Amino acid sequence: MEGPINFTVLPRLARKTPTRILFLVMDGLGGCLGKGPTALQASKHPNLDALAARSALGRTIQVLDGITPGSGPGHLALFGYDPLTVDVGRGLLEALGVGADVGPGDVAIRGNLCTVDAEGRVVDRRAGRIPTSQARPLIRQLAEAIPAIDDVMVEFHAGLQHRFAVVLRGPELGPDVDDTDSGEIGRPILSAYARNGAAARTASIADQITRLAQETLAGREVANAVLLRGFAARPEILSYRELAKLSGVAIAAYPAYRGVARLLGMHIVDTIEPGCPVRDEVDALTDVWGDDYDFYFLHVKGTDSAGEDGDLARKAQVIEEVDEQLPRLLALEPDVIVVTGDHATPAPLRAHSWHGVPTILHGPWCEPDAETTFDEEACQRGRLGARLPATALLRLALANAGKLVKYGA
C-alpha cells in the first residue's frame, strides 16, 4: 500500500529514547463481518474493551486490499517493512526461527520428515506428526551422515515435530528451486527443479540430500525420507536498529515468528514452549522488561490455529485468555501499546484472509475514539481508518513514544 517508504524516512527521523513500545500480536485475530459474530464479538474481553475506550482504533491492511497475507508478509508489514518489496522465503524464517545462522549467499530450506512406501511414494507428508522428541535424534543422524556435499556445508536443525531446517553454505548457490514436495500423497518425492541457472547447483545438492537422507533413514516404517520446501536466501534488509533505532525482543514460541524477529535483529526469548499458556509468555515478557529493550513483540499463536480449525469458540477463548493477562501487561506501563494481528483468520473461512485486522493503538498522543469495545465494527469506525496500511503502525507507535523527530525544518 505504501511501498518501502519507511526505509527512507525512519532512519533519518528515529531517535533513541527511554520509552518502550509493546506490540501484542494475536495471530489471525481478525474475522469477517456478516458471517455471524466474529471471535472478538463472541468473547468477553473487558480489559481489551477498557483499553480500546482510551485508544485509537482501526483495521489494518497488511499487503493490499484483497490480498491474503502469509505469516511472514503479515508480520513484516506489522513491523513496518513493505512485504511487496522485502521477499522473505519460508525456509529462511524456519531456519532463523530454529536458531540457524543464515548469511549472505547461503540457502535456507524448510524440511519435513515424511514417510514413503517401498516404491518411494509419499504416504504421509508429515511422518504422522512424529513427536519432537522422536524426531530430534533422526535429524541428528542426518546431520552426522550428511555434513557436506562437495564443497557445500550442509547444516541440519531440528524444529517442531516433523519439521526441520537445512542451511547450505558454500559457493555458487542460488535459492530459486521448487519444492520437492508435490503437496499430495501417493506421489513420489519430486526432483528439485532449478528455476534458473544460478540455482542449478542448489537443486543438485538438494537431490543428493533427498537420496542420502533416504539411505540414512532406510529400514524405518515412518519418518524414512525428507521433503524439502521453501528454498530461500537471506534478503538484504535493514535491521530494526538500523530502521528505527529500536532494540527489539520477541516473545514467540513458534519458529516462523522467531524467524521474522531474528531477521530484523531482535533478541529471541527462547524459554517458552509452543502451546504454552499466554500467562507463560507474559511471565517471559515481564522477565525481560527493562532497560535493555525498547520494542517488545509478544506473539500469541492460538487465535490463528483455532481460526484455521474453524473453531470460533476456541478462538474466542484464546482472546479471553489474552484479555485476562492484559492487566499484567499494562502494569508494566509501556509508553505505547499496539494490539493487533498479522492477518485475519475468520473461523467460518478456516483460512487466512484479506479482511482488515482489528487494531488498538494506545499511547499518550493517540487521540482516543468514542468506541468502548474492541471488535471489527468498532475498529471499522475508528480514527485510524478501516484500511490503514499496516506499515504505518510502526510510525504511529514511534511517534506516540516520542521517538521521531519532525520531517524537515
The least CB distance from residue 294 to a copy of itself, in Å, is 16
Whose Cβ is closer to a copy of itself: residue 272's or residue 393's? Answer: 393
Q: Does 395 bind a copy of itself (CB under 8 A)?
A: yes
Cell 564443497 identifies what position? 151
CA atoms within 13 A on the CB side of 151: 4
Q: Are strands 248-251 and 163-169 parallel, antiparallel or unpaired?
A: unpaired
Q: Which contiguous run of DSSP H or E holds residue 226? A: strand 225-232
Of residues 276 and 399, the one with the C-beta less far from a copy of itself: 399
Does 8 sit near a copy of itself (CB under 8 A)?
Answer: yes
**Does 197 sit near a copy of itself (CB under 8 A)?**
no
Nearer to a copy of itself, 269 or 401 (CB): 401
Q: HSE, CB side, 13 Å, CA atoms: give it for residue 47.
A: 14
Cα–Cα distance for residue pair 269/272, rounded to 1 Å = 7
Q: Between 248 and 255, whose beta carbon lies closer to a copy of itself?
A: 255
Contact 229, 181 (CB under 8 A): yes
CA distance 309 to 306: 5
Q: Are strands 295-300 and 248-251 parallel, antiparallel or unpaired?
A: parallel
The reply to whether 175 sits near a copy of itself by the rule CB under 8 A is: no
Q: Which amino acid is at 316?
A: A
Smallest distance from a copy of itself to CB 190, Å: 18
CB 176 within 8 A of CB 231: yes
Taking CB under 8 A as the criterion, the residue among 28, 72, 111, 248 binding a copy of itself is 72
Q: Which stretch binds a copy of itself (CB under 8 A): 168-176, 287-295, 333-341, 380-388?
A: 380-388
The residue with cell 482510551 is 54
Strand order in the sheet with 267-268: 267-268, 248-251, 295-300, 21-26, 336-340, 357-362, 56-61, 385-389
Q: Phi then psi for 61, rounded to 5 degrees?
A: -110, 125
Number of residues this chain uses to bind a copy of itself (CB under 8 A):
62
Listed in order, strand segments (DSSP E) in 97-224 are 107-116, 122-124, 148-149, 152-158, 163-169
d(CA 66, CA 342): 15
Cα 60 from Cα 357, distance rounded (Å): 5
Single out the residue of 43, 71, 202, 359 in contact with a copy of itself (rule: CB under 8 A).
Answer: 71
Alpha-carbon span 192 to 197, nearest angstrom: 13
Tell me, residue by residue from 235 to 264, as one string, x for binding to a copy of itself by CB under 8 A and - for no binding: ---------------------x--------
CB of 120 to a copy of itself, least distance (A): 26
Minimum CB–partner distance for residue 352 and a copy of itself (Å): 5
At its nearest, how many Å lie between a copy of itself and the CB of residue 366?
7
Work out whether 88 is an interface residue with a copy of itself (CB under 8 A).
Answer: yes
Beta strands 21-26 and 295-300 are parallel
Where in 89-128 is the site for a copy of itself (CB under 8 A)?
89-90, 93
What x-and-dash track marks residues 336-375 binding a copy of itself by CB under 8 A? Answer: ----------x--x-xxxxx---------xxxx-------
> Quick one: which of 28, 159, 174, 230 contacts a copy of itself (CB under 8 A)?
230
Binding track, positions 282-311, relative to a copy of itself; x by CB under 8 A: ------------------------------
Please, what is the minimum distance in Å from the beta carbon of residue 393 to a copy of itself?
Answer: 8
Q: Between 187 and 387, whose beta carbon lies closer to a copy of itself?
A: 387
144: which residues sit within 8 A by CB, 6+ positions away? Answer: none
The rounded distance, in Å, linking the Cα atoms of 228 and 341 is 29
Positions in 24-63 near a copy of itself (CB under 8 A): 32-35, 54, 63
Residues in the site for a copy of itself, rule: CB under 8 A? Answer: 1-2, 5, 8-9, 13, 32-35, 54, 63-74, 83-84, 88-90, 93, 230, 256, 346, 349, 351-355, 365-368, 380, 383, 385-389, 392, 394-399, 404-409
